Amino acid sequence: MTTLKTFLITGANSGIGKDTARQLALLPNTKKIYLACRNAQKARQAQRDLEKQTKSHKFEIISVDTTQPATVKKAVHELPEAIDAVVLNAGGIGGKTPEKLTPEGVTTITASNLLGHVILVDSLIRAGKLKKTVLFASSEAARGIQQTGMKRPELSSGSAEEFTRIYDGRFFENKFDAMQVYGYIKLAGTLWMSAMARKHPEFTFLSISPGGTRGTEGMNDLPPIQRFVFKYIGMPLIMPLLGLSHSLEKGAQRFVNALNNPDLRSGKFYASKKNVLTGALVDQGALFPELEDQDLQNHAYQAIQNFAQAS
């Protein structure tokens, strides 16, 4: 049984983040779950739903927009206690303008999935408000998902300069396809987590993919035709047959189980076996040796730190 009692989950008002909150609240040791959300109305509705579903009052809303560093820092400052675990779940394909640069100089897709979380974790550590575990919502897209047309991210030098160009969008020149860029950002976030695990051996850093998960809001920002095909045909009808999607409950369960599994190793990326997006979680280092490359990890880390420090 878990020894973790207090959690903060970003993007907890829908999809996997919300169901992770629900499942964690049902564990007897759980005392408090901070729902770190950007939209106050959606957050209040989620809190009401979760209270009803779990018959508990373990949820507190905290205002965080991961694309706005000031909100992240304020949230950490106002957090009334140190938390056992933080779930870096907010993100996805970056809204309707994923390529748009934030004032920090990164694309919105980078800011929402990665930069805001880098600032969150650094701020929690600096404030002495993180006790044990960081879980990053990664994705099999970080190693490419052939069946959905998401190509495996290809780096040329893997230098910090190249990661800077991925974060600010120059790497993609005028071919900015959010579905492809998403894989690069999840890969970079996963490498950043591995670097953090080496720099902070006092904490556990786990990158976990929820797998292909139905019933989320994730595809709502895709262009209309892509959205229709993915949401109403691919995800519910074709992908389950190919072992490429599972229920919302199963997706969130991967996070909950990982938080409670002492056998998982800090700095590793656990996701589905090769060519599928459901089923058992396996260490991706065996499938994707680049993940174990410490220079690559350091470069992904260094490049995002430069933006974090300037924020």
* Contacts to ligand NAP by CB under 6 A: 10-11, 13-17, 37-39, 42, 64-67, 89-92, 112-113, 137, 139, 209-210, 212-213, 216-218
Nearest to ligand NAP of 160, 258 (CB atom): 258
Q: Return d(Cα 58, Cα 134) in angstroms, integer.
A: 20
Nearest to ligand NAP of 66, 190 (CB atom): 66
The nearest distance, CB 38 to ligand NAP, in angstroms, is 4
The nearest distance, CB 186 to ligand NAP, in angstroms, is 7
The nearest distance, CB 209 to ligand NAP, in angstroms, is 5
The nearest distance, CB 151 to ligand NAP, in angstroms, is 16
Centroid of chain to Cα 33: 17
Query: Which among 27, 23, 28, 63 is positioned nearest to 43, based on CA atoms?
Result: 63
Nearest to ligand NAP of 13, 194 (CB atom): 13
For 74, phi and psi rounded to 5 degrees?
-65, -40
Q: Return d(Cα 12, Cα 33) in angstroms, integer.
A: 10
DSSP 3-31: ---EEEEETTTSHHHHHHHHHHHTSTT--
Q: Return d(Cα 272, Cα 209) in angstroms, integer.
A: 8
* End-to-end C-alpha distance for the chain, whole angstroms: 39
Nearest to ligand NAP of 10, 298 (CB atom): 10
The nearest distance, CB 221 to ligand NAP, in angstroms, is 8
Q: Return d(Cα 26, Cα 44) in angstroms, integer.
A: 19
The nearest distance, CB 165 to ligand NAP, in angstroms, is 21
Nearest to ligand NAP of 45, 159 (CB atom): 45
Burial class of residue 2 (count of CB atoms within 10 Å of its CB; 0-12, 13-18, 19+)? middle
Q: Return d(Cα 242, Cα 93) in angstroms, integer.
A: 23
Q: Where are the alpha helices (DSSP H) in the chain?
A: 15-25, 40-54, 69-78, 108-110, 116-126, 160-167, 178-199, 224-228, 239-241, 248-259, 294-310
Q: Which residues pair with 6 in a beta bridge?
A: 32
The nearest distance, CB 219 to ligand NAP, in angstroms, is 8
Query: Which among 213, 188, 203 is positioned nearest to 302, based on CA atoms?
Result: 188
Nearest to ligand NAP of 212, 267 (CB atom): 212
Nearest to ligand NAP of 91, 267 (CB atom): 91
Nearest to ligand NAP of 5, 18 (CB atom): 18
The answer to whether 83 and 127 are in contact (CB under 8 A) is no
The nearest distance, CB 287 to ligand NAP, in angstroms, is 16
